[in-house]
Copies of this chain bind each other. A is one copy, B any other.
């Protein structure tokens, strides 16, 4: 009996968070309302409130749920690949597919909520900041592992890794922003071209990388 209740609670939690990550990617985390979500999903309000407590708890749980989706879509498919520039490029391709494929209807979840909370101190901002620095660290790690296997030219040192990671992330983020706001259909290709150019300049064997990025359409 107790187990059944826990299982139902977990199921409801997943249903709610499935909805809130989608809403927040469009309207931001401030727009979330437990009451409205319960109504929309035909769930008991008191049940939903019991699961999440405060609006801030819901916001925090939503950020964590979005991290899970992001890891599943972008990081997991790449994780087991052997270290090298091809792996770094594959990670970028996964990110572009995640943004262009509108895994979240409002494009990259973290772009929306970062801009929303970056100047508002508190636990929600901290959670978003942690997610973004984990992502930055992961890109740096993939690049550094490539460096340690000799995938980059000799002139490319450990201190060049954070710079390259920064440049790659910058290109990906702007493609998301321009695709969404300007309906810019070539933004993802521009980002891919810039990233390949950066990786090729640094790579010991640039021929491992494709000449140009694939054409990336936005999911209808």
Contacts and interface: CB of A to CB of B under 8 A. Distances in A.
Interface of A: 25-28, 30-31, 105-107, 111-112, 114-120, 125, 128-129, 132-133, 136, 162-163, 166-167, 169-171, 173-174, 177-178, 180-182, 187, 190-191, 193-194
Contact of A193 (B133, B163, B181): B163
Q: Is the interface of A mostly helix, strand, loop or mixed?
A: helix
Contacts of A173: 170, 173-174, 177
Given A163-B190, A174-B169, A119 B133 contact: no
A170 B172 CA distance: 8
30 contacts: A27-B120, A28-B28, A28-B116, A30-B31, A105-B119, A107-B119, A112-B116, A112-B118, A112-B119, A114-B181, A115-B177, A118-B177, A118-B181, A119-B180, A125-B181, A128-B181, A129-B181, A129-B182, A132-B181, A162-B190, A163-B190, A166-B178, A166-B187, A167-B194, A170-B171, A170-B173, A170-B174, A173-B173, A173-B174, A174-B174
A138 to B, nearest CB: 14
A115 B28 CA distance: 9
A57 B139 CA distance: 42
A119 B103 CA distance: 14
Nearest to A125: B181
B119 A106 contact: yes
A120 B166 CA distance: 29
User: Which of A28, A30, A119, A132 is most buried by chain B, counting CB atoms within 10 A of its CB?
Assistant: A119
A116 to B, nearest CB: 6
A60 B96 CA distance: 31
Contacts of A117: 181
The 3 closest A-B pairs by CB, nearest first: A115-B115, A170-B174, A118-B180
Contacts of A105: 119
A190 B166 contact: yes
Contacts of A190: 162-163, 166-167
